[in-house]
Structure 1
Amino acid sequence: MTVKLGPNRYGKAETRLVRVVRDGTTHHIKDINVSSALSGDMEEVHRTGSNAAVLPTDTQKNLVYAFARKHGVEEIEDFALLLARHYVSAYPSIHHARVEIEEYAWNRIPGRSRHSFVRDGGEVRTCVVHHDGDGRTTVVSGLTDLVVLNSTGSEFHGYIVDEYTTLRPTTDRILATAVTARWRHAGDGERPPYARVRECLLDAFAQTHSLSLQQTLYAMGERVLTTWPQVCEVRFALPNKHHFLVDLSPFGLDNENEVFYAADRPYGLIEGSVLREDAPDAGFAWE
């Protein structure tokens, strides 16, 4: 019986890249997901384990970050072409390169600042109503997955440090989260419009110079409560969508807060509620 190697390819899937372009005080966000798949002279690696023709997938990841710093990222088609052509021209063993890019759009939060964004795709609007035979009613409005990002205006330092601490303090970081917020109304009568409460959340996020995500959480809840007396409590779950600065020094490149790795896990999860001192008891586990 004769056995032969069939079609094959290898690559690096879903390299997340967030690039911040700083045009003075106006920032622009490019948020993409890059996957590469290469094929060519792969007979020996499959038959004998010789890696002489293999470009490590880790190198493919590094190329994405380095090329983003060297060439920028404008049209994703052009960036994909740049990478694919490099793979085939620079490495004789690679005969075919497939590069796939997904782009996640961000819109500037209007009228707030030049470095605050809300991601396209939209959040999910929610509500929960409790009512019992004694006439008790609780109305809770909310939203989930409202993804927001500040490309500056966020710090994190002064925390507990011990022998297990590796996180470095920073006075300038990306702050991003996917907001889940639920606000309980003081009664079942007049309620503030959903869009206006959402606006309060965005305003507070954009206008708070944050020293911690906890501080931002409180500012968002406080803004809703001070603007709308019909709301008596706001509860939040804010996953910290970490963005880590990529070390480009091995490639002879600097990186002044421009090229980041967007990590999806593990992530910090910040939860809390902000309520009026005289807020009535919900009477229900209202989540």
Structure 2
Amino acid sequence: MAHVLGQNQYGKAENRIVRVHRDGIRHEIRDLNVSVALQGDFEDVHLTGSNANCLPTDTTKNTVYAFAREYGIESAEAFGITLARHFVDATAPVRSARIRIEEYTWNRISQDTGHSFVRDGGEVRTSEIGYDGESVQVVSGLRDLVVMNTTDSEFSGYLKDGYTTLREAYDRILATQVTARWAHGYRGRDGEAQPDWNRSYAQVRRHLLEAFAQTYSYSLQQTLHAMGTRVLDNRAEVDEVRLELPNKHHFLVDLSPFDLENDNEVYYAADRMYGLIEGTVHREGVTPVIPVA
């Protein structure tokens, strides 16, 4: 019985790319997940192993990053059209191209800063209440709050040994996915009024974001301390803040093979291999109660 090669395609899936437009002090971010799939005259690739008509998937990845630098990203739709047209028009064996793009929206943390953003969606508000028959313990919190500074962050002067390959950075993207928990002084004793929980949550969240945006960061550890301190300085009902800040690394893409400069504009957004920074800031004389997760 004869066998026939049916529908087939190939490409590069989920190319994570962050494009920072640095026209002036007010930056703009386009954060995309781009997948490329190509169809065409690829029978020999499957049937005989000849790669003569095969455009490497690595090339499609490089094209995505290079086009982001060369043409910018006005919209996901326009960027996808440009890519699809390129792959079909410039590569004879390619008959059709499908570009799938997911875009993650970032909003400005404050209108007073041009480089600090918070990403839409995914944030979860949390609370944990303990009661031992005598007193109440309330720990509020949030998780999956993704924030980014596109400048005002560096990392240098660190310990180095024979295994150190990391280069010092004096102007880098600082991004993290915040998990924060904070313990209240409220104990629920007779006559003790409860705080306005919703207002308290909103205000703690605001101070976390403002501290992140307004701190010139020499390390994520320093930023963590500034965030916790800002909450305690401004919210009397909070006794302790515990933060977990994974460092969501963004690496500059080397575009020199394509004769393109990359002046802190096109980054590869890694979704693994991040450091995890954890710490607690509490009032002097207060015994911490929030456990390490």
TM-score range, shorter chain: over 0.9
Pick the aligned partner of 2:201 from 190, 194, 201.
Answer: 194
Structure 2: segments with no counterpart, 5+ residues: 188-193
Change (3 A) 1:278 1:63: same
Q: Answer yes or no: is 1:253 the counterpart of 2:260.
A: yes
Aligned residue for 2:233, secondary structure, equals helix
- Cα shift readout 1:97-127 (whole Å, capped 9, x = no counterpart): 0001111110011244110001111511110
Task: Give yes or no for contact 1:112–1:206 (8 Å, CA) kept in 2.
Answer: no
Partner of 1:277: 284
Q: CA deviation at 1:280?
A: 3.9
Q: For 1:77 and 1:23, how far apart are their aligned partners in 2?
A: 22
TM value normalised by structure 2: 0.94
Change (3 A) 1:48 1:106: same
Percent identity (aligned): 62
Aligned residue for 1:26, secondary structure, equals coil
Task: Give yes or no for contact 1:112–1:207 (8 Å, CA) kept in 2.
Answer: no
Q: For 1:54 and 1:162, how far apart are their aligned partners in 2?
A: 43
Q: For 1:204 and 1:215, how far apart are their aligned partners in 2?
A: 11
Q: CA deviation at 1:91?
A: 0.6
Change (3 A) 1:11 1:126: same
Task: Give yes or no for contact 1:84–1:99 (8 Å, CA) kept in 2.
Answer: yes
| 1:12-161 equivalences in 2 (<5 Å) | 12-133=12-133, 135-161=134-160
Amino acid at match of 2:218: L
Runs of 4+ in 1 over 3 A off after TM superposition: 284-287
Q: For 1:142 and 1:87, how far apart are their aligned partners in 2?
A: 47
Aligned residue for 2:271, secondary structure, equals coil
Amino acid at match of 1:45: V
Change (3 A) 1:184 1:112: farther
Q: Answer yes or no: is 1:171 the counterpart of 2:170.
A: yes
Partner of 1:185: 184
Task: Give yes or no for contact 1:26–1:115 (8 Å, CA) kept in 2.
Answer: yes
Over aligned residues, Cα RMSD in angstroms? 1.3
Partner of 2:10: 10
Structure 1: segments with no counterpart, 5+ residues: none
Aligned residue for 2:62, secondary structure, equals helix
Amino acid at match of 2:195: E
Amino acid at match of 1:80: G
Amino acid at match of 1:85: R
Task: Give yes or no for contact 1:128–1:286 (8 Å, CA) kept in 2.
Answer: no
Task: Give yes or no for contact 1:186–1:280 (8 Å, CA) kept in 2.
Answer: no
Task: Give yes or no for contact 1:138–1:187 (8 Å, CA) kept in 2.
Answer: yes
Q: For 2:265 and 2:229, how far apart are their aligned partners in 1?
A: 32
- Cα shift readout 1:224-260 (whole Å, capped 9, x = no counterpart): 0011121111001111110000000000000000000
TM value normalised by structure 1: 0.96
Change (3 A) 1:281 1:246: closer
Q: For 2:292 and 2:285, how far apart are their aligned partners in 1?
A: 18
